[in-house]
Structure 1
Amino acid sequence: MTLTLASATQLLKEHGLLREIIRRDHWTLDPHDFDDCDTAFAAITYDTRQVKAGTLLCCKGRFKAEYLHGIDEAGLQAYVAETDFSGETDAPGLIVNDVRRAMSLLSAQFYGRPQDELTVVGITGTKGKTTTAYFTQAVLNAYSDGHAALFSSVDNCLDGHTYVESDLTTPESMDAFRMMREAVDNGMKYLVMEVSSQAYKVERVYGLTFDVAAFLNISPDHISPIEHPTFEDYLYCKRHIIANCRSLVLGVDADHADLLRQDAAAAGVPVTTFALRNDSLYTASSETDNDSADADHTVADFVARPANEAHSSYHIAADNADLGAFTLALDGDFNYANAAAALAIAQAAGADLHDERVSHAMTTVRIAGRMEQFRDPQSNTLAIVDYAHNYASVTALLDFVYERFGEQHPRITLVTGSAGNKAYDRRKEIVEAAQDRIANFIFTAEDTDSEPFIDICMQMQGYITNDAVTSTVISDRTTAVTNAVYDARAHADQFNILLIIGKGDERWIKNHNKHVPFEGDDHIIERLFA
């Protein structure tokens, strides 16, 4: 499948995006006014530095005319933009109403619509997307003998086994379709991808229909002038996935689940539900029956329940049939909810869950920087490194700590920061989620564009209203983690738990739009505990 000026024009017309084609002083809707309209583009890019002979350039974002200086000599064949740049180039310009939508459609076409050769799974929600994506990929990999690709906020995997650190939760549309093509060429049959609210806000998945979509949960997050102005806007963007899928997996206890079901009904999309139930012990012989479901909860198609009082393993039932007891390498009850979701997704994608090698493939999955636990040989201290970064995930993490270790009355220290220049609501909410459940805060650096780390930390400290909790601001993150360890050792007469959140295993901190090398929370702990 090739992309030409003529076929690009037709595609943009079909989607109501084309305004006109402009070349110097000639304005037209007919691409055949140009001699090379049927010449296939040799490349497509949104980076002027990558333009070569035969390139179609998408001018997105804060694009400036000066970026096009000398572009004709580089070999630009045509450009797509919301602005006329005919004063800067002799190449014809496809002038459109929305360049991001246009870029998504044109990229898919340029790379031969690789999504049509894959079963594509999209997973959204406020928390649990990454873990559920990894679990789902593991199950589909087992079912397909290693032919499942992954796009996640941590890693991308295009061959079923090689993982490379990713830059975005959901890639730019052009990058996504390029990677999909590579995955198809590698023999992949499935693609599991996280889908952020921003992916719909800025049209990264425009025109993409998911064979299976999962909506795990929803709570306020990403509220800021450069993300979502309100929670309503955040939820509205996430809801787009429902109208753009063929099958939906839904967390039955998610806030606004009734609205999400209405979305599915309006789109004619079938719904499979999942749930976590922690109220009683589960045995395969009885508790899968609908009559035994919690009186105050909706019955779900996939249900995870603890198999013992220690919650060290869970039974998962699908359509009232027990799939067995599951023990995960990732601790935390919420991860069994993610496991139930993954099994529901995999079944909707066509996997046979009756084969234990398939259904239990996720039990050994580990994700660097997620619920990683370390014991200090020099003191009675447990450190947990995790990506928790908002009210919901911090609450879930503390719920886990209290459930597993509450009887030991641990002294808990939370090492945290918050993102700069965005998601301003997180700063107060992290404090509110933790201040009545911990002994000590250490506020420190997290990723930021231009806001000083110290300002964010001081603002978070100012949200503390519980006089019983202590707090310290240490803007250098390595020093902050080190201080937490030394402080725990100074309280060796108590069981200490250090919760170090927000960065996981990332080896950089974003400062003034640059990735500054950073040892990593997990490496710091490993070094100090060695």
Structure 2
Amino acid sequence: MQIAKLLENLEYELVAGSLNTEITTLVYDSRKVEKGSVFVCISGTVRDAHDFIPDVVEKGAAAVIVEKDVTVPDGVTVVKVADSRLALACMSAAYFDYPSKKLKTIGITGTKGKTTTTYMVKSILESAGIKTGLIGTIETIIGDEHIPSANTTPESYVVQDYFHRMVEAGMDAVVMEVSSQALMLHRVSGFAFDIGVFTNLEPDHIGENEHKDFADYMHCKSLLFRQCRLGIFNGDSEHLQGILEGHTCEVQTFGYQKENDLRAEHVELKKEHGALGVRYHVSGLMNFDVEVNVPGSFSVYNSLTAIAICNHFGVSVDKIKEALFHVSVKGRIEIVPVTRRYTLMIDYAHNAMSLESLLTTLKEYEPGRLVCLFGCGGNRAKSRRYEMGEVSSKLADLTVVTSDNPRNEDPMAIIEDILVGVHKADGKYVTIPDRKEAIAYCMKNAQDGDIIVLAGKGHEDYQEIKGVKHHMDERELIADIIKENPDLKL
């Protein structure tokens, strides 16, 4: 492949060499350079890849893509671009022969709901015979292959690689989570989504290495709707107009309000035999009753989002209803069936905002008691510990403080920080550092009608201690506890 092919959708300046240069691989990690590679220099927060040019040239790189003036030996092609991240995205699409054109692409952005909604969409589409890949916070799914994720949205080269592999595996569509960071860093540039989706927006990811303020966060989210054909929006969001700013797509809305194109009406909370969920009527563009075995008003929004998307694939009402009734997402309000006496669930809530939203939702189900078990990660802001402790103490009837990922900190020191927040409210609490023992305590002391939430780990199946990830899956811990105490299933 000649480098000219990779640059066909880019503005650039040829500084040295020839556009007819044959290249073997497209690389942005200097360690993966081989003879004939084209190396894209990304200016990172830790290291500037332009510093590695002498190393990659020595390894045999045939070309380098740069943002700065550089010096290279004769025979090496140098192409200068305004933004090397955008260049990587466009070049990756070309390198894999534009796989997005062979798939129906769905991108979902928003502060909350992305993960659950992607699984709902995949479940509905596949029930209708539409083979669907998934890229998200938990994993990437390509057919039967499950690849654990490091980021909500991977680097642009990886996105295009996954698309290519999905095409090769016979996928018809892909649904993916699109983070604000991904939009800001051009991880999903170089192609247009068929459908872009906005779930909701709350202050998050604002800080030194993320977004400078809420306005910047919202602006980055809005970028998705300048590169999709159809935009599906939460019409109830107070930030809808900010997200719509600069959009170039067709617009459809969903939500509770009557102005929306697709609406949820007559919402009921469902609480039966240790299971929680919602029922509601869909009106507007579609007209039917739906039942979802995931609790809370956000479950209404997530499922309504999925319905709005799948309506554009011509999926039958019966298929939509069946898929939503059976859908379950690992670590996202995941109910673990143990007994009909109480409800036990696992959720990823790992900051004060998500924990407050979760506990507030569960209180609507009027549990006998609301029991919240959680810990906090080490080597992270102490403020999160105080805030989570206070939220749980304020909203839960019993807080069980335990260990999460202590990393390089003393687990008891983390627990003491959490208790600072717990003491700001008047909820009852116990501290049990060992997570399995803490879960067993909750199960052994459960009362009829309780809702017990194991918060913070969610889909994670490890505990990180002093740089080592030890296998620990809360589902397995629950199974072990029941095996050791068979009467807990009664």
Secondary structure of 2:329 counterpart: coil
> Corresponding residue for 2:291?
327
> C-alpha displacement at 1:493, in angstroms?
6.2
> C-alpha displacement at 1:180, in angstroms?
0.6
Task: Deviation per CA, 1:301-324: give whole Å up to 9, x if none.
Answer: 222345656365523424264223
The one-letter amino acid paired with 2:92 is S
1:114 aligns with 2:74: no
- Are the equivalent residues in 1 in contact too, given 2:125–2:315 (CA < 8 A)? no
- Are the equivalent residues in 1 in contact too, given 2:278–2:299 (CA < 8 A)? no
Task: Deviation per CA, 1:75-111: give whole Å up to 9, x if none.
Answer: 3221223345545896333333322111111111111
Secondary structure of 1:327 counterpart: strand
Relative to structure 1, is the Cα distance of residues 420 and 141 closer, same or farther in structure 2, using a 3 angstrom cutoff? farther
1:269 aligns with 2:238: no
- Are the equivalent residues in 2 in contact too, given 1:149–1:188 (CA < 8 A)? yes
The one-letter amino acid paired with 1:310 is K
- Are the equivalent residues in 1 in contact too, given 2:21–2:62 (CA < 8 A)? no
1:521 aligns with 2:474: yes
Secondary structure of 1:485 counterpart: helix
The one-letter amino acid paired with 1:5 is I
> How far apart, in 2, do the equivalents of 1:452 and 1:239 lie?
41
> C-alpha displacement at 1:415, in angstroms?
0.8
- Are the equivalent residues in 2 in contact too, given 1:221–1:390 (CA < 8 A)? no
> Corresponding residue for 1:279?
none
> How far apart, in 2, do the equivalents of 1:420 and 1:380 lie?
38
- Are the equivalent residues in 2 in contact too, given 1:68–1:88 (CA < 8 A)? no
* Number of aligned residues: 474
Relative to structure 1, is the Cα distance of residues 142 and 496 closer, same or farther in structure 2, using a 3 angstrom cutoff? closer
Secondary structure of 1:207 counterpart: coil
> Corresponding residue for 2:395?
437
> How far apart, in 2, do the equivalents of 1:392 and 1:179 lie?
32
Task: Deviation per CA, 1:210-238: give whole Å up to 9, x if none.
Answer: 21111111111122222223222222211
1:165 is matched with which residue: 148, 158, 174?
Answer: 148
- Runs of 4+ in structure 1 deviating by more than 6 angstroms, as ranges, are 450-455
> Corresponding residue for 1:482?
437
5 Å-filtered alignment, 1:309-348, equals 310=270, 312-319=277-284, 321-324=286-289, 326-347=290-311
> How far apart, in 2, do the equivalents of 1:316 and 1:89 lie?
69
5 Å-filtered alignment, 1:131-150, equals 131-143=116-128, 145-150=129-134
- Are the equivalent residues in 2 in contact too, given 1:506–1:520 (CA < 8 A)? yes
1:299 is matched with which residue: 259, 262, 269?
Answer: 259
> How far apart, in 2, do the equivalents of 1:89 and 1:455 lie?
58
TM-score w.r.t. the length of structure 1 is 0.78
> How far apart, in 1, do the equivalents of 2:441 and 2:316 lie?
50
- Are the equivalent residues in 1 in contact too, given 2:153–2:179 (CA < 8 A)? yes
Secondary structure of 2:62 counterpart: strand
> How far apart, in 1, do the equivalents of 2:470 and 2:75 lie?
42
1:242 aligns with 2:186: no
> C-alpha displacement at 1:115, in angstroms?
1.3
> How far apart, in 2, do the equivalents of 1:100 and 1:447 lie?
34
> How far apart, in 1, do the equivalents of 2:161 and 2:139 lie?
16
> C-alpha displacement at 1:123, in angstroms?
0.3
5 Å-filtered alignment, 1:5-154, equals 5-9=3-7, 11-13=9-11, 18=12, 21=15, 28=16, 33-34=17-18, 37-60=19-42, 61=44, 62-63=47-48, 67=52, 71-72=56-57, 74-83=59-68, 86=71, 91-143=76-128, 145-154=129-138
> How far apart, in 1, do the equivalents of 2:111 and 2:228 lie?
19
> Corresponding residue for 1:366?
328
Identity %: 25
Secondary structure of 2:287 counterpart: strand
Segments of 5+ residues of structure 1 without an aligned counterpart are 22-27, 277-296
Relative to structure 1, is the Cα distance of residues 88 and 452 closer, same or farther in structure 2, using a 3 angstrom cutoff? farther
Task: Deviation per CA, 1:152-189: give whole Å up to 9, x if none.
Answer: 11121223x54332222111100000111111122222
> C-alpha displacement at 1:299, in angstroms?
3.1
The one-letter amino acid paired with 1:383 is L
The worse-fitting range, judged by mean Cα deviation, of 429-438 and 190-199 is: 429-438
> Corresponding residue for 1:230?
213
The worse-fitting range, judged by mean Cα deviation, of 92-101 and 197-206 is: 92-101
- Are the equivalent residues in 2 in contact too, given 1:86–1:92 (CA < 8 A)? no
- Are the equivalent residues in 2 in contact too, given 1:421–1:451 (CA < 8 A)? no
Secondary structure of 1:500 counterpart: strand
> How far apart, in 1, do the equivalents of 2:386 and 2:458 lie?
21
> C-alpha displacement at 1:47, in angstroms?
2.2
1:251 aligns with 2:249: no
Relative to structure 1, is the Cα distance of residues 156 and 222 closer, same or farther in structure 2, using a 3 angstrom cutoff? same
TM-score w.r.t. the length of structure 2 is 0.84
Relative to structure 1, is the Cα distance of residues 452 and 209 closer, same or farther in structure 2, using a 3 angstrom cutoff? farther
- Are the equivalent residues in 1 in contact too, given 2:21–2:77 (CA < 8 A)? no
- Are the equivalent residues in 1 in contact too, given 2:66–2:78 (CA < 8 A)? yes
The worse-fitting range, judged by mean Cα deviation, of 242-251 and 411-420 is: 411-420
Secondary structure of 2:302 counterpart: helix
> How far apart, in 1, do the equivalents of 2:292 and 2:193 lie?
28
Segments of 5+ residues of structure 2 without an aligned counterpart are 272-276, 484-490
> Corresponding residue for 1:215?
198
> How far apart, in 1, do the equivalents of 2:225 and 2:457 lie?
30
> How far apart, in 1, do the equivalents of 2:296 and 2:114 lie?
15
Relative to structure 1, is the Cα distance of residues 428 and 216 closer, same or farther in structure 2, using a 3 angstrom cutoff? farther
- Are the equivalent residues in 2 in contact too, given 1:374–1:526 (CA < 8 A)? no
> Corresponding residue for 1:197?
180
Task: Deviation per CA, 1:352-408: give whole Å up to 9, x if none.
Answer: 14452255333322222222234667x9664321112344432332133222243x2
1:506 aligns with 2:460: yes
Task: Deviation per CA, 1:413-435: give whole Å up to 9, x if none.
Answer: 3313258557x875555445433
Task: Deviation per CA, 1:5-27: give whole Å up to 9, x if none.
Answer: 334455432xxxx3553xxxxxx
Relative to structure 1, is the Cα distance of residues 93 and 256 closer, same or farther in structure 2, using a 3 angstrom cutoff? same
> Corresponding residue for 1:24?
none
> C-alpha displacement at 1:342, in angstroms?
0.5
> How far apart, in 2, do the equivalents of 1:226 and 1:304 lie?
38
> C-alpha displacement at 1:518, in angstroms?
2.9
> C-alpha displacement at 1:441, in angstroms?
4.8
Relative to structure 1, is the Cα distance of residues 310 and 150 closer, same or farther in structure 2, using a 3 angstrom cutoff? closer
Task: Deviation per CA, 1:466-520: give whole Å up to 9, x if none.
Answer: 341355677x6xx13523532663x5667654322222131234567x5613312
